[in-house]
Amino acid sequence: MGKPKVLCLHGFGESAELFKIRSRNLRALVGDHAELVYPDAPIDVGSLHMTTSDLADAGAVSGFTNLSWWWLRRGKTYEARGMGESLALLGKILNEQGPFDGIVGFSQGASLAVLVCALLAGREGPLTLGDVNHPQMKFAILAGAFQLEMPIYEYVYAEKFTTPSLHIRGIYDTVVSPERSLKLQHCFESPDAFEFVGGHFIPQSPQCARKMRAFLAPFIPGLADDESQAAADSCTATTATTDSADSSAEPIPTAA
């Protein structure tokens, strides 16, 4: 049997490569126990900025693109343009690179991860992944996530999700407020949560790493008994800036 696979979806104005940096805590934690797959969203939204911490970790790497899974068209009503294209892309990834055991998402990517979980669970409505043969996700980690509050998506949240979930949110998040994130959390039957002092980012702290390890241990064989994870926790703490420093440098995506 191969390693568990985890699908990782970046946020608005980011990219697969940038999300690898933002989720370095998760990558250090998982190590060789699972394969993390980072796809790029299909919509180019132009130039945004990375945090000071991200730039320091990126080093000499350049050429990041700023991508989106959808963008909001504002008029008399809101419309998530590009959603169909993104779901079709993910359907293709599920078929060609799956099966995936779990899904991780940040901000817009976390909200999209919820839609993927809903569609794989058989929720019927206008959204579709296409002709996909894939089991339901065994788990979801959702950071800075929010509901899509448009009538077309109401059916997605009408019934509680049974997918085991970990919800990560900053109490000073001004992009996706803690209240919005908590509203989505209440759509899950037995959610777990990690709340931290900070803004719209995934914490690189040992505390967050320990929480993710405890959550992931039942789904990723060997993770709970790997003594090297303590060293990984310590490593991420020394290589990352403090949560408060990251928060002050965090860019504000305009289409969360």
d(CA 117, CA 160): 11
Mean pLDDT of all residues in 173-188:
95
Whether 123 contacts 155, CB under 8 Å? yes
pLDDT tens profile 206-254? 999 999 999 999 999 988 776 454 545 454 444 443 343 343 333 334 3
Mean pLDDT of all residues in 94-115:
97
In CATH, the architecture of 5-249 is 3-Layer(aba) Sandwich (3.40)
pLDDT at residue 223, as a whole number: 87
Burial class (CB in 10 A: 0-12, 13-18, 19+), 208: buried
Residue spans of the domains in the chain: they are 5-249
Q: What's the chain's average pLDDT? A: 84
pLDDT tens profile 119-156? 999 999 999 999 999 999 999 999 999 999 888 899 99
